[in-house]
């Protein structure tokens, strides 16, 4: 028997996308019903389902709030599908307006004897079955990957999600993490030196106050063929080397830590480093330092190693994260990881934006802090 799923398209793509990927669901076709203002959202969802080989059909609803018209529409849809042959309809009540979900539910209830079923996706990643009523709540599989998730929410990856940019530097990254107390001031100086070399043919400005920690750090960088000493300055041997020293090392550390955690935490579905994405609505591009899909929820991670007066850069990062987390819908979350301690005032600001923080010496225990955040 052919199984057709009927979805109500709204701003939130996750409740429509996730159940269709569950291993227990037979999905022969998906009908994406939508009002005219949500035609674009329906197309995004169809594009995401196409990645997994799901056949889709888009149907425009006559209204978003006229219950009588909506009832007529869904009854006519039911009659049309059953006239075409043996078919079972499964109705997702999670999206749309209340009149839309009510009309769809009434149709499902009226045709229950013909095998029609209906469910609702809960915020805790489970399904509640309304029809049949005796079916228990169902946990959903965590199978979606970043490209399909982003596509469903109106964003396209500009390239295939990337892994580590510098796998050969992992021992250096781990050394910096384990000796973060020793190297924090030196890493701040290195960040400034790397920034100064951006428009100076990869040569930094002269080093001021080269203490033991900075000297040891530069020695490490020389050993890993990232820099060479040039009198009282340093030369970065490539743009990649300069980027790594300008904060890329922290992005790498976070990526490696997530990779290690994913071996034990099976709810981590996908993760990427330096992911460039583009809005399908207006073409705006963004780069995500790290992105993690865990339990069908998107977490965007911003990494900061620079220290500025008044923490202006930090506040800009909080604002940027608040904006970017909307990519993941209502369940999207943000995490800011800062080499330097964050002031109580900015911690309050982060809390207002619902952004998690890992900062200062907490980086010493990065695996434990990340595990706690990703397990929530």
Calpha distance 237→223 (Å, rounded):
12
Look at residue 29 in the predicted model and tell me its pLDDT.
96
Strand 56-60 with 29-34, pairing: parallel
Instruction: Print pLDDT tens along the chain (376 aa).
Output: 899 999 999 999 999 999 999 999 999 999 999 999 999 999 999 999 999 999 999 999 999 999 999 999 999 999 999 887 768 999 999 999 999 999 999 999 999 999 999 999 998 899 999 999 999 999 999 999 999 999 999 999 887 777 788 889 999 999 999 999 999 999 999 998 998 887 667 888 888 878 899 999 999 999 999 999 998 899 999 999 999 999 999 999 999 999 999 999 999 999 999 999 999 988 999 999 999 999 999 999 999 998 765 556 678 888 989 999 999 988 999 999 999 999 898 999 999 999 999 999 999 999 999 999 999 8
Which residues, other chains included, contact 179 with Cβ-Cβ below 8 Å and sequence gap of 6+?
none
Look at residue 310 in the predicted model and tell me its pLDDT.
59
Which residues, other chains included, contact 220 with Cβ-Cβ below 8 Å and sequence gap of 6+?
172, 175
Look at residue 315 in the predicted model and tell me its pLDDT.
81
Which residues, other chains included, contact 260 with Cβ-Cβ below 8 Å and sequence gap of 6+?
367
Calpha distance 37→72 (Å, rounded):
21
Look at residue 66 in the predicted model and tell me its pLDDT.
97
End-to-end alpha-carbon separation of the chain, Å? 39
| CA neighbours closer than 13 Å in the CB half-sphere of residue 328 | 23
280: closest CA among 94, 155, 93, 118? 155
Q: What is the pLDDT of residues 27-39, one digit of tens each?
A: 999 999 999 999 9
Look at residue 159 in the predicted model and tell me its pLDDT.
79
Strand 297-304 with 285-294, pairing: antiparallel
Q: What is the pLDDT of residues 4-26, one digit of tens each?
A: 999 999 999 999 999 999 999 99
Calpha distance 64→96 (Å, rounded):
8
3-state secondary structure of 277: strand
């Amino acid at each position: 028997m052919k199984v057709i799923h009927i979805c109500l398209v709204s701003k939130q793509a996750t409740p429509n996308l996730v159940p269709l990927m569950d291993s227990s669901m037979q999905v022969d076709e998906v009908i994406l019903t939508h009002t005219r203002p949500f035609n674009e959202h329906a197309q995004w969802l169809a594009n995401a389902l196409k990645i997994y080989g799901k056949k889709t059909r888009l149907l425009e609803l006559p209204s978003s709030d006229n219950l009588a018209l909506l009832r007529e529409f869904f009854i006519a849809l039911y009659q049309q599908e059953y006239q075409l042959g043996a078919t079972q309809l499964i109705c997702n009540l999670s999206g749309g307006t209340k009149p839309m979900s009510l009309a769809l539910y009434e149709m499902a209830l009226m045709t229950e004897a013909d095998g029609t079923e209906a469910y609702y996706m809960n915020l805790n990643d489970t399904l509640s079955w309304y029809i049949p009523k005796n079916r228990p709540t169902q946990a959903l599989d965590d199978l979606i990957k970043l490209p399909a998730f982003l596509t469903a929410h109106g964003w396209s990856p500009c390239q295939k999600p990337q892994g580590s940019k510098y796998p050969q530097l992992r021992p250096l990254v781990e050394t910096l993490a384990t000796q973060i107390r020793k190297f924090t001031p030196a890493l701040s100086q290195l960040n400034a030196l790397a920034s100064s070399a951006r428009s100076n043919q990869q040569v930094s400005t002269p080093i001021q106050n080269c203490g033991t920690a900075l000297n040891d750090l530069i020695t490490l960088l020389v050993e890993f063929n990232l820099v060479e000493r040039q009198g009282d300055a340093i030369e970065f041997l490539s743009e990649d080397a300069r980027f790594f020293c300008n904060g890329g090392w922290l992005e790498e550390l976070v990526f490696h830590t997530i990779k290690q955690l994913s071996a034990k935490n099976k709810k981590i579905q996908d993760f990427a480093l330096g992911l460039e994405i583009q809005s399908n609505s207006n073409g705006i591009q963004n780069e995500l330092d790290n992105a993690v899909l865990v339990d069908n929820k998107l977490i965007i991670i911003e990494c900061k190693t620079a220290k500025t007066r008044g923490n202006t850069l930090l506040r800009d990062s909080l604002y940027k994260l608040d904006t970017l987390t909307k990519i993941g819908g209502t369940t999207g979350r943000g995490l800011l990881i800062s080499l330097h301690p964050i002031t109580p005032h900015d911690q309050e600001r982060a809390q207002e934006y619902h952004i998690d923080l890992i900062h200062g010496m907490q980086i010493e225990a990065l695996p434990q802090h990340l595990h706690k955040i990703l397990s929530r």
